[in-house]
């Protein structure tokens, strides 16, 4: 039959294919996804599950005339293929395709939707605008993969029910999963709809009795079998949607492209908002994904496509250290409980759930609810540890401020993947947390520089009972140990040079000799203090090492505050004595840690303050290393800024 996929240049080309060709195309798309994503990494499982559904959507609706919005956007790879984007060789890389819908890539993409549960609000806004403009096209929101567990989706549903004259279709992609099995009462209700025996018994009765009555009975059975939305209204009352007065169609097998297309077509004949319930299987058609109970290959790095095994074994990272230490702490402290927003494995709480299954709470994709629930747990004497990606804490800021901090609740929030992450694009960089949390009174923010400090800070946070604490750490592997050469009240000194010498602990410090001669022809006398935030300590260390070899007479001290916020008064005192203060943080520079320290130095201080952090803009997709360099947070950039300040 040849490659059908290569013949497709736009969604309209799908109209020419027969039902047999559509089945062939589905298989071809799955082979393409496994081959392409295994090379680059990305969201494989969700896209294997929506192949037929996406084909049916593009056969029934006419993008971009009809507006199709995916929630979450990580299930839009098939949509990209059907809209002319078939070069996946640089997926999630600079100048390659985004891992999410992207307006820069195509007119078929509307929302760069990588934070879940927002599509229904977007879709309602679009549909209302179309109505006001006399536009008769459809707006379709494809929501699923756990996104309906988010409260914002239900706020939108409640509002959608007030508008019975808009052409808005809500396609529920029900795969029973988010990252892990979907949590909550909604999930149980969808399970009931999928497996309702009354429905199956009614169809079986119709098949047995009606078909025996000749042609009239045959017609009656076909009507009974085809109008599934009517049957469901009769035998499975729609508690989920009846109070909202929303029309419901389904459930339909989302891997039967003909049945799915038929259901969508029938639903599009209804002149108002309607919900279409589609059953899919995450990881469909790829045995390693189907058999992976954890998350069905939700998101993967490069793998061997034949086996599904990683190309490179994962090194020991920050998340695994947290996973180990929180289990150890909980063994000694029965008040420790943990909370996750549908990300048990990615944030490192699976080992905790295996040791303490009754002490872990998965709330679904509902970060706002999670934060406030932690406040309630703390009120009754527990110490909740909420583990969440840094980018997703943005969604729960009001709850952290008004429910947790205002009530001085002893809650620990672990921010995984803080700072620059790179490949997942602008929405997934965890760069906002320090600047955002700096305005919360009495909240402590810590940043470990290495494994030992993560374990230490986590224990300190879990023992703190006067208010909330936040610990942040980046994506990836952990740097070598950087032991303190001096522990002060409020900070650690990890590097100190004098004229011609460096003071360091050489037993574990990364590659610095006990003495480094200063042989540069330049001569400058300055007391330089470099203050690093968390994992940027190694950059600060190496920048100091490089600088003293090029600037004779300068002394450099590298300080790790451990707790960034509130800024400790002893750190302020030490910086006040310096001629030049340099800060390096893997977070937003405006309003970040460096800004907080600078603002607390006395007005009469005459020194030079150099701040290195993420600029005030959305970062494009690239590697973490490249983005750090572009943001002038690398060793050479730090050294160059100090030399420029000293006019060297």
Which active-site residues does the annotation give? Answer: 282, 367, 395
Contacts for 268 with CB less than 8 Å, ≥ 6 apart: 60, 61, 138, 169
Structure tokens at 97: 């395709």
Q: Answer whether 496's CB lies under 8 Å from 557's CB.
A: yes
What's phi and psi for 183, nearest 5 deg? -105, 145
Let me know if 513 is exposed, middle or buried by CB neighbors in 10 A (0-12, 13-18, 19+): exposed
Q: Name the residue among 596, 585, 589 with its Cα closest to residue 535.
A: 585
H-only helix segments in 269-366: 287-290, 318-332, 350-355
Residues forming a β-bridge with 277: 172
Q: Which helix (H) or strand (E) holds 645?
A: helix 635-645
Cross-strand bridge partners of residue 527: 555
User: Measuring CA to CA, which residue among 524, 529, 464 is closest to residue 491?
Assistant: 529
Residues paired with residue 498 on neighbouring β-strands, in sequence order: 501
Q: Are 596 and 571 in contact (CB under 8 A)?
A: no
Q: How many CB atoms lie within 10 A of CB 311?
A: 11
Which of the 8 DSSP states describes residue 9? Answer: S
Distance in angstroms (rounded) separating the CA atoms of residues 27 and 23: 7
Tell me which DSSP letter residue 286 carries.
Answer: -
Question: What is the DSSP code (8-state) at residue 480?
Answer: P
Cβ burial of 89 (10 Å; 0-12, 13-18, 19+) is exposed
Chain centroid to CA 9: 31
Q: How many CB atoms lie within 10 A of CB 559?
A: 27
Reduced to 3 states (helix: H, G, I; strand: E, B; else coil), residue 212 is helix
- Helical (H) or strand (E) element with 275: strand 274-279
Taking the C-alpha atoms of residue 372 and residue 376, their distance in angstroms, rounded to an integer, is 7
Ramachandran angles phi, psi of 180, nearest 5°: -115, -175
| Residue 577: alpha-carbon gap to chain centroid | 41
Dist CA 241 CA 235 (whole Å): 15
Q: How many other β-carbons are positioned within 10 Å of the β-carbon of residue 523? A: 11
- Please check whether residue 401 is in contact with residue 409, taking contact to mean a CB–CB distance below 8 angstroms: no
In whole angstroms, what separates CA 191 from the centre of its chain? Answer: 26
CA 332 to chain centre: 31
What Rg value do the Cα atoms of the chain yield, rounded?
A: 28
User: Burial, 3: exposed, middle or buried (Cβ in 10 Å; 0-12, 13-18, 19+)?
Assistant: exposed
Structure tokens at 545: 């090492």
The CB density around residue 451, as the number of other CB atoms within 10 Å, is 19
Query: Could you give the CA distance from residue 67 to residue 75 in angstroms, rounded to a whole number?
Result: 16
In 3-state terms the chain splits into helix, strand, coil percentages (rounded to 5) of 40, 20, 40
């Amino acid at each position: 039959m040849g490659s059908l996929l290569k013949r497709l240049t736009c969604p309209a080309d799908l109209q020419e294919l027969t039902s047999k060709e559509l089945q062939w195309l589905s298989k071809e798309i799955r082979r393409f996804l496994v081959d392409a994503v295994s090379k680059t990494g990305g969201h494989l499982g969700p896209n294997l599950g929506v192949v037929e559904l996406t084909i049916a959507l593009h056969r029934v609706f006419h993008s971009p005339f009809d507006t199709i919005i995916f929630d979450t956007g990580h299930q839009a790879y098939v949509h990209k293929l059907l809209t002319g984007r078939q070069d996946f060789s640089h997926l999630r890389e600079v100048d390659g395709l985004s891992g999410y819908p992207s307006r820069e890539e195509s007119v078929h993409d509307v929302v760069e939707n990588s934070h879940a549960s927002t599509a229904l609000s977007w879709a309602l806004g679009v549909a209302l605008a179309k109505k006001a403009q006399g536009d008769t096209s459809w707006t379709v929101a494809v929501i699923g993969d756990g996104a309906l567990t988010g409260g914002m989706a239900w706020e939108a549903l409640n509002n959608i029910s007030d508008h019975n004259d808009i052409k808005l279709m809500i396609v529920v992609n029900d795969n029973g999963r988010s990252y892990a099995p979907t949590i909550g009462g909604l999930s149980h209700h969808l399970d009931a709809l999928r497996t309702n025996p009354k429905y199956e018994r009614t169809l079986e009765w119709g098949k047995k009795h009606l078909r025996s009555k000749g042609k009239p009975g045959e017609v009656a059975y076909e009507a009974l079998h085809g109008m599934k939305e009517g049957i469901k209204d009769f035998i499975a009352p729609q508690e989920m949607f009846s109070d909202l007065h929303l029309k419901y169609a389904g459930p339909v097998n989302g891997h039967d492209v003909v049945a799915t297309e038929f259901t969508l077509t029938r639903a599009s004949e209804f002149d108002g908002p309607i919900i279409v319930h589609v059953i899919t299987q995450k990881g469909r058609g790829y045995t390693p994904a189907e058999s992976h109970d954890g998350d069905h290959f939700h998101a993967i790095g490069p793998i061997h496509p034949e086996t599904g095994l990683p190309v490179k074994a994962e090194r020991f990272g920050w998340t695994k250290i947290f996973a180990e230490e929180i289990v150890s702490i909980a063994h000694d402290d029965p008040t420790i409980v943990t909370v996750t927003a549908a990300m048990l494995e990615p944030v490192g709480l699976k080992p905790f759930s295996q040791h303490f299954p009754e002490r872990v709470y998965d709330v679904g994709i509902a970060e706002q609810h999670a934060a406030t629930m932690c406040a309630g747990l703390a009120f009754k004497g527990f110490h909740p540890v909420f583990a969440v990606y840094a980018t997703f804490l943005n969604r729960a800021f009001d709850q952290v401020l008004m429910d947790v901090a205002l009530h001085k609740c002893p809650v620990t929030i672990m921010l995984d993947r803080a700072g620059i992450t790179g490949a997942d694009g602008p929405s997934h960089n965890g760069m906002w947390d320090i600047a955002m949390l700096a305005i919360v009174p009495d909240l402590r923010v810590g940043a470990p520089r290495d494994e030992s400090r993560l374990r230490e800070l986590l224990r300190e946070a879990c023992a703190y009972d006067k208010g909330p604490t936040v610990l942040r750490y980046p994506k990836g592997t952990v740097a070598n140990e950087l032991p303190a050469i001096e522990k002060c009240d409020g900070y650690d000194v990890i590097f100190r040079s004098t004229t011609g010498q460096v003071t360091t602990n050489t037993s574990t410090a990364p590659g610095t000799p006990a003495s480094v001669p200063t042989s540069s022809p330049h001569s400058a006398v300055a007391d330089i203090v470099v203050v690093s935030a968390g994992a940027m300590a190694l950059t600060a260390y190496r920048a100091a090492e490089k600088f003293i070899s090029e600037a004779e007479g300068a002394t450099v001290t590298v300080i790790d505050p451990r707790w960034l916020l509130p800024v400790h008064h002893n750190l302020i005192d030490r910086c006040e004595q310096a001629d030049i203060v340099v800060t390096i943080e893997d977070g937003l520079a405006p309003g970040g840690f460096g800004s907080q320290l600078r603002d607390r130095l006395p007005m009469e201080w005459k020194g030079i303050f150099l701040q290195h952090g993420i600029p005030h803009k959305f970062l494009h997709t690239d590697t973490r290393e490249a983005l750090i360099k572009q943001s002038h947070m690398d060793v050479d950039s730090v050294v160059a800024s100090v030399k420029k300040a000293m006019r060297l």
